[in-house]
Amino acid sequence: MSNDYQLVIGNKNYSSWSMRPWVWMRHHDIAFETIMVSLYTSTTRQEISKFGCGTTVPILIDGDIRVWDSLAILEYLAEQHPEYNGWPLDSTARAVARSVSAEMHSGFAALRSSLPMNCRRTIKGLKLSEAVRQDIDRIAKLFTDCRQRYSHDGDWLFGNYSIVDAMFAPVVMRFNTYGVVLDGEPGRYLETVNSQSAVREWIEDSRLEKEVIESVEL
C-alpha cells in the first residue's frame, strides 16, 4: 500500500467515471495527487496512454501498480484500506451492493447517452425519452429497495458510506443538471449525496474548469 497515490482523471465537469474513485478517496481523506487529462481532444488518447494501461480514465497509480476502470479502482482501494469497509459487512447486503454497483457499471445506457454529465449546467424542460424514464424509474426503485432494506444505520444506500454510493454519485449529478426530481426515500438519498463534502468539492472544482466540450453540451 502506498501513501503516494496518483489518480488520473478527466475533466471534472464531464467525467462521470473519474468522479467515483475521486469522491470515495476524498470522503475517506486518503491522500492522493490528481492528474487531469482533458477529454475529447486530439491528444487525449496519447496523453492517457503514457500511463501504460489503455486510453481511458480513471487510472489509479500506486507505485508500480496501475489499476484502471472505476469499479476496479474502488475494489482495490477497499482492499488496501479495509478500515473503511468498501462493502457492507453483512454478507447478504454485500451481495446486493455488488449487484447494484455492477448494474450501475454496465447498465442505464439511455440515461448515459441522453443525459451526459455536466455539473456546471442546469437544463430545464428537456423532454425525456421513454427509455430514459425507464432508467430513472429503475434507479429510483434501487434507491428505495436499498434504503428500506439495508440502511437502518445511516443515510447512505446501505447505511454506512460504501462503494455503491460512489458508483451512483455521477447519476445524482445528472439528475441535478436535468431537473430529475425523486420523491420519498430516493429524494432523501439525493439530498444525502448532494450534501456530501467530497461531492460539493467536486462540483466547485468543475465550475472552475475552463474547458468546454461541445460534443457533450446539450
Q: What residues contact 87, with CB distance under 8 A and at least 6 apart? A: 78, 94, 97, 98, 162, 163
pLDDT at res. 3: 56
Tens-digit pLDDT profile for residues 113-132: 999 999 999 999 999 999 99
- The domain spanning residue 115 has which CATH number? 1.20.1050.10
43 shares its domain with 115: no
* Alpha-carbon distances, residue 167 vs 5, 12, 87, 158 (angstroms): 20, 15, 12, 13
- Give residue 69's domain range: 5-84
116 shares its domain with 42: no
Tens-digit pLDDT profile for residues 175-204: 999 999 999 999 999 999 999 999 999 999
Full-model pTM: 0.95
Tens-digit pLDDT profile for residues 153-164: 899 999 999 999
In a domain, 109, yes or no: yes
Locus of grid cell 432508467: 135
- The domain spanning residue 61 has which CATH number? 3.40.30.10
Q: How far is 28 from 119, CA to CA, in rounded Å? A: 22
In a domain, 65, yes or no: yes
* Alpha-carbon distances, residue 15 vs 11, 22, 36, 82, 102 (angstroms): 6, 11, 10, 27, 18
Domain count across the chain: 2
Using an 8 Å Cβ cutoff, are 105 and 148 in contact? no
In a domain, 121, yes or no: yes
The full 3-state SS of 160-197, as one line of letters, equals: CCCHHHHHHHHHHHHHHHHCCCCCHHHHHHHHHHHHCH
185 shares its domain with 142: yes
> What is residue 6's DSSP assignment?
E
Cell of 175: 439528475
156 shares its domain with 197: yes
**Residue 121 one-letter amino acid:** R
In a domain, 211, yes or no: no
Cell of 115: 443525459
98 shares its domain with 184: yes
In a domain, 10, yes or no: yes
